[in-house]
Amino acid sequence: MGTSVTWREIDLGGSVAGGTSENYKTGNWRVERPVIDYGKCVKCLICWLYCPEPAIVRRGNEVRVDYDYCKGCGICAEECPVKAISMVPEEV
């Protein structure tokens, strides 16, 4: 929801068109960020499967973290069988 929309234009009854979650960058909720060590990564895609958001983005067997939406829950780091993901404190 843009902050320029007045009450005259705002959608009826607190309803909004679908897909608005893309506009809410929830990554700023994060306290720790997952960092992938690609030297250790075996491309098993376990992190991609387990990410609840999903903020692990996959292209082929390559994975990366989408920091716009990753909330830093740490499930990927916990589940990685080769300990290729570490949780690094966010700088305040």
Partner 1 sequence: MPCKGNKYGSRGGVGKMITKSLSRQHRIALTGNDAVAYAVKQAKVDVISAYPITPQTFVVETLSRYVYDGELDAKFIAVESEHSAMSAVIGASLAGARTFTATSSQGLAYMWEALYAASGLRLPIVMALAARALSAPLNIHNDHSDFFGMRDAGWIMFNGEEAQETYDLTIMAYKIAEDPRVLLPVVVSYDGFIVSHAISDFYALNDDVVAEFLGKRTTGPKIDPDNPRSFGVLALQDSYFEFKRQQYEAMEKSRQVIQEVFKKYAEISGREYRPLKEYMTEDAETCIVAMGSTVGTARQAIRILRERGEKVGVVGILQYRPWPTKEVEQIFSKFKKIIVMEKTVSHGARAGPMYEDIASTLYPKYSNVKMIDYTYGLGGRDISPQGIIDIYRFGKELIEKDRNDKVQFYGVRE
Binding residues vs partner 1 (CB under 8 A): 1, 3, 5-8, 10, 12-20
**C-beta closer to partner 1: residue 24 or 38:** 24
The H-or-E segment that residue 32 falls in is strand 32-36
With the C-alpha atoms ordered 43, 47, 53, 55, is the resulting torsion angle positive or negative?
negative
CB 23 to partner 1: min, Å: 12
Instruction: Tell me the one-letter amino acid at 88.
Output: V
List CB contacts of 58: < 8 A, sequence separation 6 or more.
45, 48
Q: Give strand pairing partners of 62.
A: 59
CB 11 to partner 1: min, Å: 8
CB 14 to partner 1: min, Å: 5
**C-beta closer to partner 1: residue 13 or 81:** 13
**C-beta closer to partner 1: residue 23 or 60:** 23
